[in-house]
Chains A and B, each alone.
Chain A
């Protein structure tokens, strides 16, 4: 049995670690609440945007927009990978990177060239290690989703898509499903899909008798890029909430494990102490008997 002094030392070190993980857990809880609020606050905009586009699409019987057009053949794709800037958040970064690698593999299988845009230090580290070149990186911003940044990324992609320099764009990020589950996810952001003219919304739109200023087509042209911007922005928001949820969980597990370890070490310490005393008494008794 280890001697008591060593056990005490170990217990102290575990206690210190627990202090850190506990603090990190609390910090993540607070940040998570903030991130969740931000994600929630973005919802009305996204919902309204979808509604308006649905109405517009229903009204213009033939929607043709460069952003909706599939490029054939697909030669080049852009993959935006969002990870966290810091670790200590369980499998969060690993899961996203695994998803990103499978996306990249699929593109390679199709013989498509790809370009990476990375947000988050962890992503950069991983791709550097793998020797995959990164076209553009955004660091130390993973917990500050910013619409202006989403806008600049989106606008560049849209411009290049319009010039046919790129044919597809994906964003790989982590969704915030619940406090305990964050699933990595890949969304195709260019070309835009899921927009059909006519369809079930027609009746609703016709009944409204909208005036358009200017015509619906022009409005649609102006509004569609907003969808691309918004999907990048929501990915940022989700990713941020996911990161904090993952870290909170990881730190909670670490704190619990530290608790268990302290309990175990205390028990070991008591046992060691007891056996030491017993042994000492036995020695004294033995000594007395010998006299």
Chain B
């Protein structure tokens, strides 16, 4: 961060934002009712073309930790940020995770929830900028949690300001107020209006420059008031040009320089101005959209939007992009993993109820809900594969989604063969846990990010990663059934048939898990050999997978050598979940090695608590059951 420059730029932006807000606050007449086509605008972010709908959701998640604002889709909030920024200033969207951040900024802590509006935080912006600047000078490992939070908050506000200014060129602004008809005539502006937008003037830039050149030939003393106003306006245009160039929102396709080059409206205007080229058609269409939105003209808004989208798609000359955009919007609207969570949750509720009151119809409902959940879960995964044209597991978020799905499938298979509730119980429990963990990762931003070079291999991603994840799912299910077995041994020790059945499930799923984890680990070695020329390098991620395999092999050999019996095997399968948790999160927490690309933060405490609880459970049940 080029600190002072950035602070100056930001302070200017803050002023600009607020002034835009006040400038057009009286312009708002009625609201646009449909933003259906607005979702479809294509934006290029971090190497990926995505619908604005996804972008808006990701931004809102980053800011507030939620994908909706006041139960409204993110796109509605986002449209306000772009078209009428002043109407979003009081939206309490900025989540501050640490109360000390607010203390250090001198803000009163809110009673209800730790989210704050731009109006609240804008007041302390200069102080926040200074603190963030100081914190950013420290090395990563030297920063405290509070300092990290300060940087995060600063970045959120910075992005918000940039976004709220990205279509400002089409919003009427008091800087461009002309009451003198002589000036309007000279600028070729309509006499019916007094307040104009930046775009109104840039459109007439050639007239203005000609006037300016003529005026500059005169001495300053000889210039009339109108001529001074013209020079003053030209200076404002120049300043505004410099400020809008770095603004985000890369929604304009620029095939001139590179087939995959996208630029923001600010950049597009800047280039037209600097290179004396005609303004792009997209800019006019965006200008129309802004005007229609502010004035509540739905038809005009839709028409401009449709023309904008068609124009971009025509330039892309790719039918698949349009299909993928449609698929992604549908995926966002259906929100399949949330629905799966809901169905798994109720499936778990009903199966527990059926175990308590022993009603068969409750069992049926539970199984049906589990199937419904897995249906949405499968749809979500297939959609993602189609949108990204790649295998289902490419990042940490997707490993939880896929493992969750696999555990539910295994649960359904178990239930299909055994019909003893265990499949539903374990499937719904693991499904909901995995999706909840995945949900936490989704808050970090786009879950469909592009792959770094080392991972960019569809063959190995679809073999090694999937295989090992299937293996992990088997071992997780085995561990969950292990819990069930322990409870059954404690509460119904006399029912040998039930215990035998449950143990067989543990054994089978553990064997399944071992086969696939082993195969996945070996394939990882093969990928390493293909990419790095060596099969094994004792890298932490490799070691993590090895520990999972070794533990499973130990269980089978310990049972073979009669060191452990059924209870021991069940308890060992619970420890298997711990080995997986360590391989999954623990290795990333170490932050070393060639595989540390999926770095995890802030989960160390949860991981430690989970491990301690599971160990206490295993030890306590082990001691108690061996005494029986």
Please indicate whether A and B come from the same complex rather than being unrelated chains.
no
Q: Which residues in A have some Cβ–Cβ distance to B below 8 Å?
A: none
Q: Which residues in B have some Cβ–Cβ distance to A below 8 Å?
A: none
